[in-house]
Chain A
Amino acid sequence: MRSANQIERRRQRRRRRRRRILSSGLYNTVMAASTADSWSWFPALALGVSFLKCLMINSYHSTDFEVHRNWLAITHSLPVSKWYHESTSEWTLDYPPLFAWFEYGLSHVAQHFDKKMLVVQNLGYASPATVLFQRLSVIATDVVFIYAVRECCRSVREEKGSKDLLVRPYFILAALLLWNYGLLIVDHIHFQYNGFLCGILLLSVARHLQGRHLEGAFLFAVLLNLKHIYLYIAPAYGIFLLRSYCFTKDNTDGSVRWSSLSLVRLIALGSIVISVCALSFGPFIAMGQLPQVLSRLFPFKRGLCHAYWAPNIWALYNVVDKALSVGFLRCLVVCALCSFMFGWHVHEKAILMAILPLSVLAVESREDAGIFLMLATTGHYSLFPLLFTATEMPTKVLLILLFTLYSFTSLKKLFRGFLLNTLEVTYLLGLIAVEIICEVVYPLLPWKQTLPFVTLLAKSVYCSLGVSYSFIRLYLSILRPTDKPKEL
């Protein structure tokens, strides 16, 4: 028999338990976050940057906004056979077919926001509902990027015996990737879908790191069919997959054992890539429109081939034998940088293709962290001219300060010590001087009227020094003889 006291105490305990369950959800994740093994901080980081992106909905957007609105209109209003022939607007469809299908899918959601944006003739249409829809679509597709970052963080190596959450490599990597300045500025202000595309790239990389090569290959094939600019890094991919997946065994000295070619694997890889391309280009080949599509994708075919394939292949010739020991990711970054340095009709946004994978390397090795700081800071600063309006000026300055300060302090804390020598630091401080001279001093000088492009030139030249320097250092890191095979 229980006494009244015991019954009362039991009742109170039950009440308290109920209360705790109600409040436990979010709180438990908080408590668990302080033990660095749980991943509850990840949604907080992702949500924070998504909030920031929502606030940028009404900022300046470039002509890329109209480009994508036009493509929504084309894919929605016209039959497939007309997609690559349509040229009412100057912004013709010049991405591969899979991206066109992506826009087609988006257009079905768009019609609930504002039907008028889907009319091809409405050139320059930018009603508030249109802006809201387009911005939200970028923010929503970024979920692919967020998932990819999570997968990359899972694959990051770390030393044992730490430490506070804020100093863990995967936390720093997540922060550097999720809050990457370049992506924020280019995607959510200037307007593009790089987050979505880089997400697929990073996911593919993560799958390779996890040993799921077929999935990685599939994802990369999809990526190529979404935006053909990734052809720049296709050689790195192709050679790596051939080398490490199709040749199943190595010789004792690490070089290729040609006899171990696995036909099954080669056929599997080949069929995945071919089927994705078939799915994407199939309808157009059937309609006999392949030449037209290719002419849209590669507007000046001959020049492009000569200009960018040559240095690319030349660069890779040096690493073809060492691909596995050098590391797939490093190869990828060098490839991307090669294309940036020597490619034809390169846009400054292409630097993101190098910076993002380099972030993964940066949290694992001290030297890479130093290179990353140089490349990221210079590369991000080179994006400044993309946002030239007065209203966006404080945003871009504050955001770059935020990202740069964070990357310096967190990587310094991770590797316990200075990562850059005096000359490098002086160069980076010089970026501030360049900005002040170009924005404040030069407009007061009389030459501004006659030579208005001097500021852009000065910034480009100054940044090119930093980017070239980083490129050379990365390249040398490949050529150096390695004693042990790295996993990346």
Chain B
Amino acid sequence: MTFTTHFSHCSTSCNDNSKLFSSSSRSSPAIHYRFSGSRRLCRYRINSANGNPLKALPSLPISESAADYDYDDNVETGDSHSTLSITVVGASGDLAKKKIFPALFALYYEDWLPQNFRVFGYARTKMTDEELRNMISRTLTCRVDKREDCEQKMNNFLGRCFYQAGQYSSEEHFAELDTKLKEKEGGKSSNRLFYLSIPPNIFVDVVRCASLRASSATGWTRVIVEKPFGRDSESSAELTKCLKQYLTEEQIFRIDHYLGKELVENLSVLRFSNRVFEPLWSRDYIRNVQLIFSEDFGTEGRGGYFDNYGIIRDIMQNHLLQILTLFAMETPVSLDAEDIRNEKVKVLRSMKTLQLEDVTLGQYKGFSKGGKLYPGYTDDPTVPKDSITPTFAAAALFINNARWDGVPFLMKAGKALHTKRAEIRVQFRHVPGNLYKRNFGTDLDKATNELVLRVQPDEAIYLKINNKVPGLGMRLDRSDLNLLYKARYPREIPDAYERLLLDAIEGERRLFIRSDELDAAWALFSPMLKELEEKRIVPELYPYGSRGPVGAHYLAAKHDVRWGDLSGDDS
């Protein structure tokens, strides 16, 4: 409510100079070779986003002299005739320092960036290039598992970082940025990527200025935006409308960094490339699906932003809902971004709009343990004392289609809980006419199969199966068929931001959220959120560091579900 006023500014500043940004981004490279000089291996990446025919990709060893050579089908990205400029707007912010610059360096270190790339920081603070480099260098790290040339690579990378100070709403200052960009691009064909790491109330201003004054004249211009994308259907639609005055749909890259997580990416691989899973993927075999997110810390002095949104908008409506759609979608026509996003939208549109009774809320309260006091949510100085913003929520969602009719999809998200984790749990149905019923004792729920994808921490996939306890007699128990990533894949798993930045550079939209997806997602949650606020529903209090409010259990019980993460044999 207070928030929508932020956008009133937009409607006045929107003008008719639409679509100044060049939109050549459609033709991203179909095939993208990168040669890693140190290992002399050809690493390749297949981009089928635009349907270009794919060529066979032999793994060619190449000579040392050619190690730095970038081959590309397409003139636009990567080859020596074009340049790439990445501008981080809001360069002095936390996200930029902790995630964006390190991710860019990691991409550079692993030779994923085109030869002629530059990184620009843009913010209001006065800073020299040197000061920016100094600031960045503190957060850069090399992969744990390969440190060779790390120092040298860092210096090379920092040499390509520059800074431009300016106001976010000043076209003049963006014009100055443009001059600086052009200077570095040296007349070559240029592609420009803007990463908006700024508060939502200045999104539109920046987009306006950047598009009018700093668009690329010769290559593509793309803009990455982070959540929040509004706080309900109306504000989100308003934001989209404003963005579209200056950008086309394909220039907008809405990031949801959960979609860049390794196991979320793997979800589709698991489903669609394994014969053993797809036949089970329906209401015939799946009893319920649980999407669980928990943090073991509270707002810790940063509650100002959070208090205006709450856990449902912050985690559920985006991260968990995105995972749900990936989980539940029908087989897409291909792995093309549009095909996948079409299927995701279909899921969202088949879903039942959330009702108040499908949701339970919680808010953490202070708790003292072992002499240490853990502050409650309203103890946070940045949070109003009478705040009823939920820091915990559980919800039951349903998809009204042939595949999922009647299967509850349960979501749970909370702060200040006993553990930090994100996981997907698939509980299968009971075995009909189970021959071994007697060997389980009374609790048949203990005897169903469960597939768990642990997104974080300690990425893992495991399938709970019933097994005979070795020995004489016939006693069954649940054992796990396990795949622990740490044990199987010794390499460090890249941060989600690396993947997403690379995808944006390559024009791969699969993991970004399309406008219609966003609309559909809001449409599910908005009515319920409105009702919550109108009725001022008070959340159930739960102690900091606990397992959350018991209301979550009652909600689950209503749908004959038992939370898999709190079942005792799994912690």
Asked if A and B are interacting partners, one says no
